[in-house]
Amino acid sequence: MTYVSTNPADLNDVVARVALADAEEFADAARLAKRAQREWAAVPAPVRGQVVANLGALVESNAEALARIVTREIGKPLAEARGEVREVADTCAFFVGEGRRLYGQTVPSEMPDKQLFTFRDPVGVTAFVTAGNFPIAVPSWYIVPSLLCGNAVVWKPAEYSAACAQAFHDLFVSAGVPDGVLNVVFAEGSQTYRGLELALEQRLVDKVGFTGSSEVGALIGELCGRHLQSPCLELGGKNPMVVTEDADLDLAVRGALFSGFGTGGQRCTSLGTAIVHESVHDEFLRRFTAAVEGAVVGDPFGDVLYGPMLDGKFAVSFEKYLGWIRDHHGVHGSTGVGRITGANPRKGFLGDPDSGLFYHPVVVSGVRPDDEVFRHETFGPLVGVTSYRSLDEAVELGNLPGYGLSCSIYTTDPRKVFAFRRGIGAGMVSVNNSTSGAEAHLPFGGNGRSGNGSRQSGGWVLDQFTRWQSMNWDYSGTLQKAQMDTPAIEADLDFRLEW
């Protein structure tokens, strides 16, 4: 079976054609990775780090071409695509040095002539299933540290970002990754799941990483649990932005505009609901509406806030989310709702709206806690707005949907910042900044419906792709039994000072 990847901004433009594998072929790729992994793990970690350095150099020298592939295939604005490429280079720059810092420890023993050690060892074969909204940045968070740690990789990218995946794979190969160590498998969802199931049953995969929806993540978590494995799950989000009564409203509007509508709202960290203090709610909504109405939407190679939906399946889903708008809601932000076409135009649209999967931005006011649009992720250009009275109420509203990926608070009061941080369940908190945006050396990940507490990026991710091994070495020449032959110190614990 062949999958055809098309440009979502120009549906007549075929970007790539790839053959889709079945479950057995997925398991075969894991088998190939398992055969190659031991030899790769035997390469000294600093030398593996040099391969990461090579990749970083290649990404930088191919940056513009890589960004243009991203923009053409998934419709991400070119400025954002360039930022994504920069993030890959930053990830490589960070992990180059980690090849010389895969430290263990020497640990003092409780007995003489005995030494204790700890070591970081690779887990073995890692299998990664990634979404296509960040078709190279998110895979780099998995693949780069996994390879650095001495693992082999099976990577199943999103089919709709096949050209991006192939280009990224070619850069890894050119950087010096040996045959069999990185294996790309294109497959649809059910065959991928069955392939993972086969690979786990045959003990071919030692760690699974998944970026995607909370629903699919739960299925993968259940599958891994049956094999006593803990996957790395980076799932959806319903990310709140709290705007306090003392906030800089213009700054808050800029943050809401970018985090709500950047990448067309198709990020796991996109703004879900702006929770605004009742005293500034109306003014915030007025300014936010004006900003959204004035934003340029359209051709992603132009200077636009966002381009098309990533793929047809997301357009179908977004139509469902628009159906969650009820009579008690207000709808703001554009000259229409739904797909942008010649018959349903967007004022100031850049390009030909009928050529691609473009959708009007939607700001929904009057959102209530029991609304579907409040409780569920709406992957697309839709932001809800609601109000609150006390900060405790704002925190409760932020936690209510059960996700816990990202959040932000706009305030000039440090006390509100730390009260919010303590109460919110998100893995990532921004202050006077958008809910979107990650740096390569900070932990990335969520809790609740957003993930299982695993973290990507920075040194924290090493715990996902290595296992701790302890070793004790007794050179006393006799058997010393822990907790039984420990030397005892005599003490007079009944001693009291006389004063």
Per-position pLDDT tens, the chain of length 499: 899 999 999 999 999 999 999 999 999 999 999 999 999 999 999 999 999 999 999 999 999 999 999 999 999 999 999 999 999 999 999 999 999 999 999 999 999 999 999 999 999 999 999 999 999 999 999 999 999 999 999 999 999 999 999 999 999 999 999 999 999 999 999 999 999 999 999 999 999 999 999 999 999 999 999 999 999 999 999 999 999 999 999 999 999 999 999 999 999 999 999 999 999 999 999 999 999 999 999 999 999 999 999 999 999 999 999 999 999 999 999 999 999 999 999 999 999 999 999 999 999 999 999 999 999 999 999 999 999 999 999 999 999 999 999 999 999 999 999 999 999 999 999 999 999 877 888 999 999 999 999 998 888 999 999 999 999 999 999 999 988 889 889 999 999 999 8
Show Cβ contacts of residue 443 under 8 Å, excluding neighbours closer than 6 positions: 427, 455, 456, 457, 458, 460, 461
From the list 239, 260, 240, 243, the residue with the least C-alpha distance to 251 is 243
Give me the pLDDT at residue 444, please. 92
> Residue 188 catalytic?
no
Out of 234, 319, 377, 490, which one is annotated catalytic? Answer: 234
Identify the residue whose tokens are 């996994």. 146
> In the chain, what's the furthest Cα-to-Cα distance?
96
CA-CA-CA-CA dihedral for 212, 313, 356, 18, to nearest 10: 80
**CA angle, corner 120, sides to 173 and 179, nearest 5?**
20
Instruction: With beta carbons less than 8 A apart as the criterion, state whether 51 and 177 touch.
Output: yes
Rg (CA), the chain: 26
Strand partners, 430: 408
pLDDT given at position 256: 98
Please enumerate in sequence order all residues whose Cβ is within 8 A of that of 97, keeping only pairs 6 or more positions apart, or say none. 49
For tokens 């993540």, the residue is 217
Pairing of strands 406-410, 403-404: unpaired
Domains of the chain and any CATH numbers: 2-236+451-472 (3.40.605.10), 239-431 (3.40.309.10)
